[in-house]
């Protein structure tokens, strides 16, 4: 199944945290197909926090969304995230944004992510790698959602050194 994941970090070595999370996903059998550039983003809702680094990754996985969520939670925990701290600074935050055309509403999981269309830190990197992906509920392309976004928070692409 094709997934789009949002990865963010605002503690420690933010870039390395995202790189490590992607590596751990790969070690667990996820095929990383594409990743966006790295972006530094203004925190939403809690402006007093440090700014985040964010990235969107397109992955291919043979697991169902609930199994992927369990894997993500275990990776976050392994990396040192406190599962009970909501809206707090975090070493790593991984969210399932879209899972093909699936719509899921359970106590533990909502796909597509319920606030993705209101978050430039998701839309900007998503539009970079897959602007024509269609939101399965809103039936709009990611590039359209970005154009219509009312989110005023800053999102800056980070110029990374080529190795």
Percent above pLDDT 90 for the chain: 86
Q: What is the pLDDT of residue 89?
A: 83
Q: What is the pLDDT of residue 96?
A: 98
Q: What is the pLDDT of residue 49?
A: 81
Mean pLDDT (whole number) for 59-77: 97
Q: Which CATH class is domain 2-157?
A: alpha beta
Residue 129 and residue 58 in contact, taking contact as beta carbons nearer than 8 Å: yes
Spatial separation of the C-alpha atoms in residues 31 and 55, rounded to whole Å? 16
pLDDT > 80? residue 4? yes
* pTM of the model as a whole: 0.94
The residue ranking higher by pLDDT, 45 or 139, is 139
- List the chain domain ranges: 2-157
Residue 54 and residue 8 in contact, taking contact as beta carbons nearer than 8 Å: yes
């Amino acid at each position: 199944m094709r997934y789009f994941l949002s990865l963010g970090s605002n503690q420690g070595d933010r870039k390395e945290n995202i790189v490590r999370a992607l590596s751990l996903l790969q070690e667990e059998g996820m095929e990383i197909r594409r990743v966006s550039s790295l972006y530094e983003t203004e925190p939403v809702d809690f402006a007093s926090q440090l700014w985040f680094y964010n990235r969107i990754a397109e992955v291919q996985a043979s697991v169902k969304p609930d199994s992927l969520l369990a894997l993500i939670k275990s990776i976050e925990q392994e990396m040192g995230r406190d599962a009970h701290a909501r809206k707090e600074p975090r070493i790593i935050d991984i969210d399932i944004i879209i899972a093909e055309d699936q719509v899921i509403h359970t106590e533990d999981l909502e796909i597509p992510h319920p606030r993705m269309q209101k978050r430039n830190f998701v839309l900007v990197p998503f539009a970079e790698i897959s602007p024509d992906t269609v939101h399965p509920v809103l039936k709009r392309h990611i590039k359209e959602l970005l154009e219509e976004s009312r989110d005023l928070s800053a999102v800056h692409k980070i110029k990374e050194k080529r190795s």
